[in-house]
Structure 1
Amino acid sequence: MARTKPEIFYIRDLDHANQVMAEMAQISREIQRIETDLNREIDAAKALADALAAPHRKKLEAMGNGLANFAEHNKKELFVAKKTVDLVFGMFGFRLSYELAPAVKSTWGAVLERLKAMKIHEAIRVREDPAKDIMREWSDERLASVGARRVEKDQFWYELKEVNLENKA
């Protein structure tokens, strides 16, 4: 895709720049109003959808619980040859599954300490990233010693004073 040059609004002088910034503040406020209105409408639509779906979710959960109860009570008859019952409108059954839990009278913290003590590092999740916020405080020499550098850039910024719009009006 070809790049297009950004549209640039021509500024004549400081007075014109001030007028432009006042208009920018008004436009910014209007965008915020539009987005706030939209978010309110979205929130209302989500709340309505949740309210309309709630009884269906409740009934679906109750029916699923009933199916699980039926399967549990009839386990010996239904699951003799296989662990799945295949019906016209779906299947249900039992799957053997496992989950990990700390041993009795132990905690995950104790498990972690034992893993460290036994030097079983493949079972310990560690995330390492350079701490750039700390490195920003370093001297250029120290940055260079670890293979990093400080790159200067003159970045344009602006701040709108929307409060002053009310005083102008």
Structure 2
Amino acid sequence: MARQKKTIITGVTREAADEAFATYAKSDAQIQKINAEIELQCAKIREKYADKLAALGSDRDKSFDVLQSFATENQAELFSKKKSLDMAHGTIGFRTGTPKLKTLKGFTWASALQLAKKFLPFAYIRQTDEIAKDKLLADRDLKEVAVYDTPTGDPREVTMREAMAACGIQVTQDETFYVEPKKEETAV
């Protein structure tokens, strides 16, 4: 379908809006009906081939297990130079995954962090300072918040919105237009 440029429509009367809504609702209902028919046909096709797909999937899984056992048992001699082996119907092999860190037995990430702080350079310890956006949103309507922006460092009371504005933060809420046509119950 070709891309259409959206034109801005102005000066619409109530009658024209009602007519447009009628067309919208009718088109939407037909789209829903066609999509339901498509889903029904797809379900019938899936049901028709479900047993065959299950059997083929089972055969494929069994064959995969046999190939994996063969490759694992003969890994030393077959995969010493290359990580793959070309066979009559394709290629089998071993892929090296992305390196990842894992704790040793008996260690947790919390205990590893404490030991890393003790033994590793600070470049390997991440410090994350970030604004607690969820807390700011929850407290956005507070009337009194202590801020420390006076020359002496003494606190003064302002509203949360004033404090956020001083930090360059504002609360915004977008509006989006929607159309919800009334649905008629149809017997299938």
Query: What is the TM-score normalised by the length of structure 1?
Result: 0.54
Deviates more, 1:29-38 or 1:57-66: 29-38
Contact 1:85-1:92 within 8 A present in 2 as well: yes
- Structure number with the bigger relative contact order (C-alpha 8 A, sep ≥ 6) is 1
**Distance in 2 between residues matched to 1:45 and 1:133, nearest whole Å:** 52
Change (3 A) 1:91 1:130: same
Percent identity over paired residues: 19
Uncovered stretches (5+) of structure 1, i.e. residues with no partner: none
Deviates more, 1:33-42 or 1:94-103: 94-103
Change (3 A) 1:29 1:75: closer
Q: Kindly provide the amino acid, as one letter, of the partner of residue 31 in structure 2.
A: I
**Distance in 2 between residues matched to 1:95 and 1:153, nearest whole Å:** 47
Q: Kindly provide the amino acid, as one letter, of the partner of residue 104 in structure 2.
A: A
Alignment correspondent of 2:111: 114
Alignment correspondent of 2:167: 146
Change (3 A) 1:104 1:8: same
Alignment correspondent of 2:151: none
Contact 1:135-1:143 within 8 A present in 2 as well: no
Query: What is the TM-score normalised by the length of structure 2?
Result: 0.51
Contact 2:103-2:112 within 8 A present in 1 as well: no
Contact 2:164-2:170 within 8 A present in 1 as well: yes
Change (3 A) 1:144 1:9: closer
Alignment correspondent of 2:58: 58
Are 1:104 and 2:125 an aligned pair?
Answer: no
Change (3 A) 1:141 1:43: farther
Alignment correspondent of 1:134: 137
**Distance in 2 between residues matched to 1:41 and 1:145, nearest whole Å:** 60
Measure how far apart 1:67 and its partner are: 2.2
Q: Kindly provide the amino acid, as one letter, of the partner of residue 13 in structure 2.
A: R
Uncovered stretches (5+) of structure 2, i.e. residues with no partner: 118-123, 142-159
- Cα-to-partner distance string for 1:61-115 (whole Å, 9 max, x where unaligned): 2122222333444556x44954654444444455677775543345xxx32x225
**Distance in 2 between residues matched to 1:3 and 1:19, nearest whole Å:** 22
Of Structure 1 and Structure 2, the greater helix share is in 1
**Distance in 2 between residues matched to 1:16 and 1:25, nearest whole Å:** 14
- Cα-to-partner distance string for 1:12-65 (whole Å, 9 max, x where unaligned): 33x554454344333333322223333343444455565443322222221222
Alignment correspondent of 2:156: none
